[in-house]
Amino acid sequence: MSTTAATPLGVLFRPQAIIATILVGEAFAVVLALSPAHSPDRLVHFGLASLAIQWVAMGTLAVLHVLRKHLARLPAARLAWVALGSFISISVLVAWGAVLLAELAVPLPEARTSFLLRWGCIALVVGLLALLTYRNYWNARQLAVRTKQLELESLRARIRPHFLFNTLNTSAALVHARPDEAERVLLDLADLFRAALRGPERVPLAKEVELTRRYLEIESFRFGPRLRVAWSLPDPLPDANVPALSLQPLAENAIRHGIEHMPGGGNIDIRLRHASGWITIEVENDMPADGNRATDGHRIGLNSARERVRALSAGRGDVETRLVNGRHLARLTIPEDVPAA
């Protein structure tokens, strides 16, 4: 989602908002045409009302769009009054133009001032209702954003201790047998967590790849030749952002539910492709002979990574898993235009 679309004014210029404005205007024109005060020729009244309402609605949006850079600096309350004033002013201007055109053909049954005052009052009431509706919509939108942020914080609280405990287990396994390597693992772990715990929600792709490399290097101390990793990356890597801790859990899942349960070890293949504005990363690993280990366990890291990717890419990205020729495949797909945190 772009920054502009996330602002109060930016939301008004999205296609969905413009279409909704047109439809609401048409519904209001139908109400006016069905009013008992009108003559039997209601179709004509509907056409005239529809034309006037769309001129007012689109004119107000056009004025706000032209002035959006200046209006963006205003507090929300003042911005609302400016928008209401623009709506009323354009409504009166359209009504005044309609009066001038009508007087060329037939005299109006009421005075010009009275007609304009009546339309101004109608515009005030409709504008206040529109502001109230939009305020409720914006508050609900902000609440949804805050809820999503809390969900992400919850996911982060789950994935990071899970990552930490699994990596500490690797260090503990080396303390007595290979203390020098255990020390190196702990130093690498410290560097790893400085990058993982203090970083933003979104990181450059190169940083996430490096984080995953460091994790696999730590695991290689415990598994030795049992762990065989093959990387297939483009050179250079795409200059794009991805959710932090999105690739690393896929590699961790490949080890915990695949390689770890194979006495002879196995292979992990990590491939990255970049095409048509999308980044695809595949982590494919060997599985135990019974083929069931890959679906055992809580898989906290994998599930949390999936939710983080979906949330931080506005639902466009995803993490999918399946079995391919007896191997477990996890595919991370994300658009390259994910904004930086």
Instruction: Check residue 199 and give its pLDDT.
Output: 56
Asked if 178 and 245 sit in the same domain, the reply is yes
Q: Is the pLDDT of residue 101 over 80?
A: no
Looking at residue 301, which CATH number applies to its domain?
Answer: 3.30.565.10
Instruction: Check residue 295 and give its pLDDT.
Output: 47
Asked if 70 and 178 sit in the same domain, the reply is no
Q: What is the DSSP letter of 47?
A: H
Asked if 154 and 264 sit in the same domain, the reply is yes
Asked if 258 and 314 sit in the same domain, the reply is yes
d(CA 118, CA 92): 10
Q: Is the pLDDT of residue 54 over 70?
A: yes
d(CA 84, CA 93): 14
Looking at the structure of the chain, the number of domains it has is 2
Instruction: Check residue 229 and give its pLDDT.
Output: 96
Question: Which tops the pLDDT comparison, 35 or 6?
Answer: 35
| Overall pTM > 0.85 | no
DSSP per-residue string spanning 55-117:
HHHHHHHHHHHHTHHHHTTS-HHHHHHHHHHHHHHHHHHHHHHHHHHHHHHS--SS-HHHHHH
Instruction: Check residue 134 and give its pLDDT.
Output: 80
DSSP per-residue string spanning 138-207:
HHHHHHHHHHHHHHHHHHHHHHHHHHHHHHHHHHHHHTTT-HHHHHHHHHHHHHHHHHHHSS-SEEEHHH
10 occurs within a structural domain? yes
Instruction: Check residue 298 and give its pLDDT.
Output: 45
Instruction: Check residue 172 and give its pLDDT.
Output: 76
Point out the domain boundary residue: 109, 125, 159.
109
Instruction: Check residue 108 and give its pLDDT.
Output: 55
123 occurs within a structural domain? no
**Residue 269 — very low, low, confident or very high, per pLDDT cuts 50/70/90?**
very high
Question: Where is 32: in which H helix or E strand?
Answer: helix 15-33
Instruction: Check residue 47 and give its pLDDT.
Output: 81
Asked if 196 and 301 sit in the same domain, the reply is yes
175 occurs within a structural domain? yes
Asked if 76 and 157 sit in the same domain, the reply is no
Domain assignment of residue 219, given as a range: 149-335
What is the chain's Cα-based Rg? 30
- For residue range 180-204, list pLDDT tens digits in order: 777 777 777 776 666 656 556 788 8
127 occurs within a structural domain? no
- For residue range 251-261, list pLDDT tens digits in order: 988 988 889 88
